[in-house]
Structure formats: structure tokens, C-alpha cells
Amino acid sequence: MADVKDELSPALVAALATELHRAWPAFPMRRFEAHATTDLGPLALMQRVRHIAAALAGALPADFTTAAAVLDRAVDSPTFNGWMTLPCGFWVADAGIDDPHVALPLLARLTPRWSSEWPLRPFIETHPDITYTYLHTWTGDPDEHVRRLVCEGTRPRLPWTSHLRSLIADPAPSVALLDKLIDDESEYVRRSVANHLNDIAKDHPDIALDCARRWLATGKDRAAWVVRHGLRTLVKQGDPAALTLLGFDHATPVRLDALTITPARLPIGGEATIELTLSADHTVRVAVDYRIHHAGASGPRGPKVFKLTNRAIEPGRPLILTRQHRFREVSVRRLYPGTHRIDIQVNGRVLGGADIELVR
């Protein structure tokens, strides 16, 4: 199976050199390619990104404004696109950190080719006042990629990069930006707003819920979708306020009438079938999840929650649900042999569960 790191290959380095030579005929193509491809093979993905960015630093003009103009001209080429532009953003963050008025507009130019969400973050930390001025302006940019950069680049817990500790401590500066994008016409932007709200909910559930209430009060359908997606972590945690806000009654009794999980013993990589029946004496909307307490090397882990469905239960009409779950290992989760507990959670309440045994 191909490794994603191989997207940053010697062939891609050569293509990038061609693009920069087109933008600046004096670009030292051979020297850049030699530097960028030396010892590239053993490096992981982000190490390759930074290695190529370092080669750019040795090949572009030493004066940042002059070098930035080369990249700005390169963006005019439709073939200067995709993976080759990722190291360029990291070069901007390294070489332009002391010149934000040149660097930040260049990151906005680059972001439609490859999101500048990662290289933007050092500017938020080093030049917050200047950067937030640009961010507020970009909320009205005609390009959806630039508007998305506003909410994605300021996510406190953006995956695969360093956390923004200032926004983890106080998300108010980013909330002011999200307020301008909650009803954005682009689903691409709204999904980023929702993911940002979900980040906030992990550290400040009260602030996230306050945002959700304000946005729902606008009565806009787009805002309602963002809130539903943005409160997903709180819903999985069974937070009563989040559930109530989304129309799920935490207090109305729901019964787990039957639960079977088969087979009771299966190998790692195998698939279990979860079958359950729910009923209630009154009509009630339910958010149904299942929680797996995976066995760990030194005891059970905290539960991992999986969405099953959102439905309505009516009196006298039991709700029967079936789900297949494959116990496969992924890069962020190793599975161990042993007892794994599966719970059924409805509107934040755990109604019951059963054990299965995983074996090698």
C-alpha cells in the first residue's frame, strides 16, 4: 500500500522547481533539487515537508519580501497546486514570521492551493493583534478557502499540529470570528465552524453551549446544522444541556428490552453484530450511541463512543436496531486481547451492556 508521505517525492520536488523557475528564471533549480531530495527517503510526512521548506530557504532570495513575490507570481500558475505548495506555506511561516504584513496575505493566496491552517498558527501566537485584524477581514473574502482558513486555522485543538494554548485558555477571540461565519453559504466553511465549536466544547462546554444557543436563536437552518455537528462530543458524553438543546429529552425513561452481541468471542479484526430493542411509554426522540471499553495493556480503557442513530420511539412501537462493528486496529488505537465491554447509551443514559472476548 502506498504511503501518503511519498506524495512528497523527488518527482514532486522537480515539479515545484519548474514552477518556481517559471515565476523567477534565476531560481537555482539543480541546487534546490539536490538539497530537497538528499536523505528524503527515510523521512516521515511532516519531516519531508520541513526538509523541502528548508531547501526553499536556501534557494529563494534572502530578502523575504523579494522571495515572497516569487511565490506570489507562482500562484498565478494553475499547475502550482496541491502537495507541492504545502512546504511553501511552512517556508512562509519560518522566513516571514517577522514580516506578518507580507506573510499573511501570501498565506491567504496559497490557501486555495493547500490550506494554510498550519503555517498560520505561529502568526496567531507571535502577532495576535495583527493576525486577528487580517482574520476578521478574511471572514468576508469571496473565496471560501480563505474564509475557511479563518475558522480552521484558529481551531484550538487542530489535529496534526501544535495546540493554540491561548485559545484553549480563552476562546473569545475565535468565537468572535465564528459568529461571522455561522451562516456561511459554503458547507466547506460551515463544517470547519462546527469542528471548531467541537474543539471549544472539549475545554469550555459552557461557552460552546452559549454559542449554540445564540446561533440557534437566529432561526437559520444553516446554523442548526452547525450546532448539531459542533456539539457531537458533548452528546456522546451524555451532556444533558447539549441533548436538551438538540431536542433530546434526557429525563424521559427509555427501556432497553433486549441486547445481543454476537459472536461472544472473536479475533482482532473480526466483526461483531449488535442487536438491540428499545421502547418507551411516551413518544420521545432518542440519540442512541454505543460505548466500547477496550481492554488495555494494564486494564480497561475509558469508553470510545460510536454514533448509532437519532430516531423517535412511539408507545407500543419498539425500536429495533442492528449494527456491525469491526474490531480493527488503526494507527491511533491498538487492540489487546481480553474482555471488551459494550454499553448502550440513550439520551446520555447507559441502559445496559454486554461483554465480548477478543483473541489473537
- Nine-digit cell string for 246: 438538540
Contact 302, 321 (CB under 8 A): no
Q: Is the pLDDT score of 331 beyond 70?
A: no
Contact 145, 115 (CB under 8 A): yes
From CA 330, how far away is CA 327, in angstroms rounded?
10
Q: Is the pLDDT score of 296 beyond 90?
A: no
9-42 pLDDT, tens digit each? 999 999 999 999 999 999 999 999 999 999 999 9
75-123 pLDDT, tens digit each? 999 999 999 999 999 999 999 999 999 999 999 999 999 999 999 999 9
- Rounded average pLDDT over 287-302: 87
**pLDDT in the model for residue 132:** 98
Rg of the chain, C-alpha, whole Å: 25
**pLDDT in the model for residue 2:** 64
User: In degrees, to the nearest 5, what angle opens at C-alpha 291 toward C-alphas 237 and 222?
Assistant: 50
**pLDDT in the model for residue 297:** 79
Band the pLDDT of 73: cuts 50, 70, 90: very high
210-220 pLDDT, tens digit each? 999 999 999 88
**pLDDT in the model for residue 332:** 67
Contact 194, 230 (CB under 8 A): yes
**pLDDT in the model for residue 329:** 82
**pLDDT in the model for residue 308:** 94
CATH 2.60.40.10 fits domain 255-359: yes
- Rounded average pLDDT over 33-52: 96
**pLDDT in the model for residue 219:** 87
**pLDDT in the model for residue 359:** 93
185-201 pLDDT, tens digit each? 999 999 999 999 999 99
From CA 109, how far away is CA 93, in angstroms rounded?
14
Q: Is the pLDDT score of 179 beyond 90?
A: yes
CATH 1.25.40.290 fits domain 4-245: yes
**pLDDT in the model for residue 1:** 47
Q: Is the pLDDT score of 56 beyond 50?
A: yes
164-174 pLDDT, tens digit each? 999 999 999 99
- Nine-digit cell string for 274: 449488535
Domain ranges in the chain?
4-245, 255-359
From CA 68, how far away is CA 110, in angstroms rounded?
11
Q: Is the pLDDT score of 330 beyond 80?
A: no
- Rounded average pLDDT over 49-59: 97
Same CATH topology for 4-245 and 255-359? no
**pLDDT in the model for residue 251:** 86
User: In degrees, to the nearest 5, what angle opens at C-alpha 106 toward C-alphas 103 and 109?
Assistant: 160
Band the pLDDT of 239: cuts 50, 70, 90: very high
Phi, psi of 353 (to 5 degrees): -170, 180
